[in-house]
Amino acid sequence: MTARIGVVTFPGSLDDRDTQRAIRLAGAEPVALWHKDKDLQQVDAVVLCGGFSYGDYLRAGAIARFSPVMATVIEQAKAEMPVLGICNGFQILTEAHLLPGGMLGNDHLHFICRDQKLKVENASTAWTTDYESGQEIHIPLKNMDGRYVADEHTLDMLEAEGRVAFRYVTGGDAADGYGNPNGSLRDIAGISNAAGNVVGLMPHPEHAVEPLVGSGRTDGLPFFTSILKKLVNA
């Protein structure tokens, strides 16, 4: 069985081709999906890639949430199809209420681009099983609206249910990727839904899948090998 993983392109998407390449390197078949189409072409999982969908007008991800493709993505995600939202994709997932909370502008009001150190908090989601809980990884980060926020009740729920998937690692030199880069509450870099099939994170694992390009690391590849193993063994 060859797993088929769809990558949605919205107007303003930047990282669809990079994401397709990461999927291919992991051993799955990438399938290009267009935002105007409701048909997911019988894919086994979906990635909402990074970029600035619809120019981030209104709010980042706010317009993309109403694209025709999202009606099917929302329906299938609720039926436990695996869905990964990267950066702008994470923003879209919160706008679509597939993940709780929301994204605001970085607290320093500047775009940030750097290699970011993360701690894996949950290695049991559909997209993280090839990591270990507590593992620290470096993943490239690039965003303007990356500050994760939620009310205290929601934050406590995410913590209690183990749904914080990734956290920014603080306590070191920013030049080495340490620190909270955008003011996200509780240093949250990524979360999952209750079932663990939907994951969103701000850093870009597709830019850390081979040693000769991107960050020069392969710390992001386990996202894509994790989902491949889940789909093949399902």
Which residues are annotated as catalytic? 87, 204, 206
* Residue showing tokens 């879209």: 92
Q: Helix or strand or coil: residue 149?
A: strand
Please give the Cα distance from 163 to 45 (Å, whole number): 20
* Residue showing tokens 């593992």: 135
| Closest by Cα among 82, 90, 74 to 142 | 90
Compute, in degrees rounded to 10, the torsion defined by CA atoms 87, 188, 161, 224: 40
Q: Exposure of 151 by Cβ count < 10 A (0-12 exposed, 13-18 middle, 19+ buried)?
A: exposed
| Closest by Cα among 221, 30, 1, 25 to 130 | 221
Helices 221-233 and 16-26 pack at an angle, to 10 degrees, of 60
The residues, ordered by sequence, that sit 6+ positions from 203 with a Cβ below 8 Å of its Cβ are 86, 87, 116, 118, 139, 140, 141, 166, 189, 190
